[in-house]
Amino acid sequence: MHRLIYLLSLLLIISCQADTDNSITLDVDQVIKIPVEYVSVTAEIEVDENSAPTAEERGYKKLLQTVDQLEQWGYKKGQLEISSGEIRQQTYRGETNFEYNASISFVINDLDKIDPIRRTLLQQGAGGFRITDYKNTHEDSLYNKAYRKAIQ
């Protein structure tokens, strides 16, 4: 998808002209709309605590709850890309705090489920939910089609 957008952007910018009678002019006004078939998303887990062990324990519990919730939505563990998490020490105004961060990336094939999944995960304690990419299974062939139309 990014390649298609990049190519179309480049082709819209390109305008070649020579000073001789054998000039070449390339004007591109082809637009191909690509329907979104599925999206890649990331759910983020965040926990702040006064001690590292407590932050880690609560973070792993939230991570497990999020994975369990996704399994209830029909996801298998092999469909989930889970970061193991990290703990960072933060000091602000003399107070030390420990922050646990982890994330789960997965694909939503049914676009009508984006909002229900987002709401459920946020209610279960996920600290964030973002769509990282919009996809189409025929993206490469659509890219080639746009390229051919652009150079005609």
pLDDT value for 118: 94
Cα separation, 28 vs 104, whole angstroms: 40
The tally of CA atoms less than 13 A away on the side-chain side of residue 79 is 14
d(CA 31, CA 80): 34
Inform me whether the pLDDT recorded for 61 exceeds 80: yes
pTM (predicted TM-score): 0.68
- The residue whose two tokens read 């107070």 is 95
CA distance 23 to 13: 17
Task: Return mean pLDDT, the chain.
Answer: 80
